[in-house]
Amino acid sequence: MVQMALPLTTGGYVDPYPTACLDAVREANIDHAAPFPPSILRSNLQTGNNVITDAPKKKKETPAIGSLGKEGMIMCRTSIFTLILRRWADSYWLHVHPTTILVFKTKELMDKWKMLHRTGKDGAKDSDTLIQWSLDFDTSGVVHKKMVKAEKKRCKLMNIPPPKLKTKIDDNYKYAPPINYAMEEVRSKYYNGRNGPLMHTCKISYLTSQGRTIAVAFGSTESPELKQLRATIRYCIKLVMKYTNKKRKQSNVDNQENCNDTVDGGSAITGTELSAGYSAVASEFSNTVYGRNTMTPSTLNWVEANK
């Protein structure tokens, strides 16, 4: 068999499909199902750098109960005394999964509590004295129950004993509906006159029979510090709303199945639903421009003149 050189194209490259070579292969009665190696064939869109895959995205793992999340520095007013007198105090906050925010007076106290938490001694009385203020947004326990159930299922699949989790106190016997906290918008103002720094503040509130009640106020002269805390609080609130809505839908389905023969002439809005709606509206993403909300026109003119 005479080997024939591959002809060149007009661009100076070797032509991978010369008709003369194909004729020579046919005359030699060679199986021409694949007359040339794949390396000189046309590139396939499904191979090489153009791989098109439909692989599912890796599911984000839910943090375990009690695991530590983000932390940062913040100024806060946690008591009725400081809320009325508007006295700010430097503090440090820590997120404990799934929906708890802890506030400490100093970073040393926070680090000491974290050390006790890792060793399993955070339930002692000495550990509680380190915390200045705390708030668990999951007042009904719906998120806690869901995560405990998922943790037990995961341990069963892995054939390992489930971890010992702290029992969550159920306050249903008090005949009081769970509190739905809401994060209000950012308000920026000067607390010490125009010569003082501009403070960005945010309040956490909830509805009661007497109206809106402020639970705590956070503030900072640095907007990134407050934004990080607000993002963590928003995560906690939306996680509670997510599982609360699922539970409410399941409860409505069960009630409808049990009352198929009952004619419903109307439904009243309960206090719990009203509070949940207040939390949903007030906790949505804020379009606030830091430094411009609640500022008077004269203050704005002064800020623009001194930029």
Question: Which of the residue ranges 185-194, 225-234, 247-256, 291-300 would you say has the lowest mean pLDDT?
Answer: 291-300
Same domain, 150 and 122: yes
Mean confidence (pLDDT) of the chain: 74
The pLDDT of residue 148: 84
- pLDDT of residue 241 exceeding 70: yes
* Residue 140 domain-assigned (yes or no): yes
Same domain, 133 and 2: no
Q: Which CATH number does the domain housing residue 84 bear?
A: 2.30.29.30
According to DSSP H, which parts of the chain are helical? 19-27, 80-85, 107-118, 125-128, 142-157, 223-258, 271-282, 297-305
Same domain, 98 and 162: yes
* Residue 116 domain-assigned (yes or no): yes
- pLDDT of residue 199 exceeding 70: yes
Same domain, 91 and 226: yes
Question: Which of the residue ranges 16-25, 89-98, 195-204 would you say has the lowest mean pLDDT?
Answer: 16-25
* Number of folded domains that form the chain: 2
Same domain, 106 and 9: no
Same domain, 198 and 230: yes
pLDDT tens-digit readout, 81-138: 999 988 999 999 999 999 999 999 999 999 999 999 988 877 667 788 899 999 999 9
DSSP lists the bridge partners of residue 213 as 206
The pLDDT of residue 298: 59
Structure-token match 């590139």, residue found? 43
User: Domain range holding 12?
Assistant: 1-50
Same domain, 117 and 229: yes
* Residue 124 domain-assigned (yes or no): yes
Same domain, 9 and 147: no
The pLDDT of residue 173: 43
Peptide bond into 56 cis (omega under 30): no
- pLDDT of residue 296 exceeding 70: no
The pLDDT of residue 110: 96
* Residue 192 domain-assigned (yes or no): yes
Same domain, 98 and 230: yes
* Residue 63 domain-assigned (yes or no): no
Same domain, 228 and 131: yes
For 282, residues 6+ apart whose C-beta sits below 8 A from its C-beta are 182, 183, 184, 185, 205
* Residue 55 domain-assigned (yes or no): no
**pLDDT confidence bin for 161, thresholds 50/70/90:** confident
d(CA 47, CA 240) in angstroms, rounded, equals 45
The pLDDT of residue 52: 52
Same domain, 218 and 78: yes
Same domain, 186 and 232: yes
Of the segments 19-28, 112-121, 244-253, 264-273, which one has the largest average pLDDT value? 112-121
